[in-house]
Amino acid sequence: MSDDVKDAGLVAMISSILGGNKRADSSAPPPLTKVPPTAPTNGFDLVEPSTPDPAPAESDDAPDAVPAAAKPVERPAKITTTPDGKKLLPAEAIADLVLGELRKLENFPATGASVTVYGYKHWNAMITFAPFSTTFQNATRFRQAVPDLVFKLRRFVELEI
């Protein structure tokens, strides 16, 4: 497999995570500078707070009965951006991004893999596997994919301390 094909695959993988599930065309990947990805919001912006349905009144004595006030749902903190356009995310969110992209690889274990993000300005990621969760050859292949993925993600994401 050529380096161009690997790079196109990684770009498509990162774009799908950071770009709102947009898949890059495998024959002509979009340049990273023209399509700035966005960090996932975990769907909080799309979900409206639910209100309980009022119970039907049994009698006509209380026509003005008001249902119990619904407790307002607090919105999560906005994702902050650095002056150079990078998203500030906590280590757990970056680890989820890396793990989510690795799960798209062939033969990646459904359980038993964890990603640790460490560092500060030049953060890095480390992947570990539980015993018997994958083969040695597959674990080596996944570990070799992590530095490329981290290098590409560092362009768009900065670790929040």
Express each pLDDT in 10-34 by its tens digit. Answer: 777 777 777 654 444 445 544 544 4
Q: With bands split at pLDDT 50, 70 and 90, how would you rate the model's confidence at 5?
A: low
Looking at residue 129, what is its pLDDT? Answer: 95
Mean pLDDT across 91-119: 93
Confidence (pTM)? 0.51
Considering only CA atoms, which of 130, 156, 133 is closest in space to residue 13? 156
Indicate whether 35 pLDDT > 70: no
The rounded distance, in Å, linking the Cα atoms of 12 and 26 is: 8
The overall average pLDDT reported for the chain is 74
The rounded distance, in Å, linking the Cα atoms of 2 and 8 is: 10
The rounded distance, in Å, linking the Cα atoms of 67 and 60 is: 16
Q: State residue 98 phi and psi, 5-degree precision.
A: -65, -45
